[in-house]
Amino acid sequence: MLNESVVWAVNAGGDAFVSVDGIAYAADEGFTDGATRQISAEIKATHNPTLYKSERRGTQFSYAHELPDGTYNLTLRFAENIVNNAGERTFSVQVEDEERITELDVRNIAGATNTAYDVTVPNVVVADGEINIVFSGVVGEAILSALTITQPHDEGAWELFWFDEFDYTGAPDATKWNFEIQAPGWVNNELQRYTDREENVRVQDGVLIIEGRKDNYLGSEYSSGRIHSQNKGDLLYGRVEVRAKLPAGRGTWPAIWMMPTDYTGYGTGWPDSGEIDIMEHVGYDEGQVHATTHNKAYYWVNGMQRKGSVLMPDVTQAFHTYAVEWDEERMDFYIDDVHYFTYINDHRGWESWPFDKSFYVILNLAIGGNWGGAAGVDPDIWPRHMEVDYVRMYKR
């Protein structure tokens, strides 16, 4: 539905550069203060490692650029090259006199040094003909590898071909959804037991409710729900769009994602045949939404995982639309039609592009686990809900 026009892109501390997705980055310009540094190490988890080979750094520095008044999306790109531990460098980012990122710890979020991390600040309002971005060190110096400023534009209509508006009451429509029933520890060391009980999954008041509970069901401390559309709603290329409100609280880990209809299409183990994560959110880092692709060439085990993040502070208070648009060459990920992550087909074979087969949608609320429980699980917040207003699949 929407794509984006790049209105300014800068390679901080570096030369002009054209990325694999066609964005033309200007040589470093528009800055005040700070120093530059070149990086010799290999940068992982990006299609564009050259873009992270230079940086601007300092206790405080800024960028400014003339723009027509309007609303823009700002994507900032980082790679920590010096510090080895979380907490050794944190900094804030102020955009148009408003602090939009507080105490950012790139090393902690990226999970390793020399690993790309991109985050999008949406809905930046410019009212004075110029955008101003200020980076301020909290612990150590602030850093920046590159920035991109975009505006959305209409790219034409899609044709709706599969949907569930949840305009009924009771169990999810059995012609569209399957239940996943699994014991705790099935994946990712998660704590919940997935059930098909109404207490965990139900349609009520026009929304699907997936409820995580602390109820000692069948001897398991926590229970929750996971449903999927395998062989009932499958898609090869198009747009998947889900409008949802996420649960708050430490230990919650909701996800909207896709897996291959044929799990053994390429190999027999994960992630050979791919995984598409449209939305993940962990409760201890409220307001930061993540999109990720997994495949044999690029995933977290080898440190090459491709992902993007966007800051949306009210995801647990309001409904937002999470989407992926997918064709033979790329995937673009959105929140409320704000584009914040792209994965490119590098034409190196199925190991990096197993995404030429059909996938289905999964909706779930995990509790704890390797990521969701990294800061522990608050035992006093339950029950917690993910609410889904609709799921829609489109084709051109």
User: Which is catalytic among the residues 275, 286, 325, 387?
Assistant: 275
Burial (Cβ within 10 Å: 0-12, 13-18, ≥19) of residue 75: buried
In contact, 238 and 393? CB cutoff 8 Å:
yes
CA–CA gap between residue 17 and residue 27 (Å, rounded): 7
Where does 159-395 sit in CATH, by number? 2.60.120.200
- Residues facing residue 104 across a β-bridge: 91
Q: Which residues of 323-348 are buried (b: 16+ CB within 10 A; e: fewer)?
A: bbbbeeeebbbbbbbbbbbbbbeeee
- Residues facing residue 362 across a β-bridge: 228, 257
Phi, psi of 277 (to 5 degrees): -100, 105
Q: Is 158 helix (H, G, I), strand (E, B) or coil?
A: coil
- Per the omega criterion (within 30 degrees of 0), is the bond before 271 cis? yes
Q: Which residue has the tokens 């080979």?
A: 53
Both tokens of 245, joined, read 């409100």
- Ranges under pLDDT 70 in the chain: 1-3, 153-156
Phi, psi of 336 (to 5 degrees): 50, 40
In contact, 367 and 211? CB cutoff 8 Å:
no
List Cβ neighbours of 127 (8 Å cut-off, separation of 6 or more).
69, 96
CATH (one of 1.10.3720.10, 2.60.120.430, 2.60.120.580, 3.30.700.30) for 2-154: 2.60.120.430
Residue 331 has a pLDDT of 98
User: Which is catalytic among the residues 55, 190, 280, 325?
Assistant: 280
pLDDT in tens, 260-288: 999 999 988 999 999 999 999 999 999 99
Both tokens of 162, joined, read 């599969």
Give yes or no: 99 in active site. no
Q: Is 110 helix (H, G, I), strand (E, B) or coil?
A: helix
List Cβ neighbours of 297 (8 Å cut-off, separation of 6 or more).
304, 348, 351, 352
- Residues facing residue 66 across a β-bridge: 130
Residue 66 has a pLDDT of 98
Q: Would the CATH topology of 2-154 be identical to that of 159-395?
A: yes
CA–CA gap between residue 114 and residue 117 (Å, rounded): 10
Instruction: Report pTM.
Output: 0.94
List Cβ neighbours of 340 (8 Å cut-off, separation of 6 or more).
73, 75, 118, 119, 120, 122, 291, 308, 309, 310, 333, 334
Residue 154 has a pLDDT of 66
pLDDT in tens, 20-61: 999 999 999 999 999 999 999 999 999 999 999 999 999 999
List Cβ neighbours of 236 (8 Å cut-off, separation of 6 or more).
356, 357, 358, 359
Q: What is the per-residue DSSP string for 19-38?
A: -TT--EEEES-SEES-EEEE
CA–CA gap between residue 64 and residue 8 (Å, rounded): 11
- Domain ranges in the chain are 2-154, 159-395
Give yes or no: 280 in active site. yes
How far is the first Cα of the chain from the last one, in angstroms, to the nearest whole number?
A: 10
Q: Is 50 helix (H, G, I), strand (E, B) or coil?
A: helix
94 residue type, one letter: Q
